[in-house]
Amino acid sequence: MREKDVAIIIGVVFVSMILSFVVASKVITTPANRQQSVPISSNITDNFIRPDPTYFNSQAVDPTKLIQIQNNANTTPFNSQQ
C-alpha cells in the first residue's frame, strides 16, 4: 500500500466515526427520554377452580384407555416378516 491509500483509509474511518456518532445520537434515545410503560400482570396462585363434575368424573370416557379389539400379543404388528 502507498501512503496515499493509508491516508484515504484513515479519512474514511474518521468520517464513518463521525457519521455513526451523529446517527446513533438521533436514533438511540438517552436514559432521560425512556418513558415507556408496560402492563403488569396479576400474580399466579395455586388455587384452581374445580372443573364441572358433569364432564370430569370417574364415569367419564377415558380417551387414553387401551382398547383391545382381539387377542393379539404382538407388540410390533407392522414389523412382521411376511
Residues in the chain with pLDDT < 70?
A: 1, 29, 31, 33, 80-82
Note the pLDDT of residue 82: 53
Residues 6+ apart with CB under 8 A from 17: none
Amino acid at 59: Q
Note the pLDDT of residue 29: 67
Note the pLDDT of residue 77: 73
Note the pLDDT of residue 26: 80
Note the pLDDT of residue 66: 76
pTM for this predicted structure: 0.36
Note the pLDDT of residue 55: 85
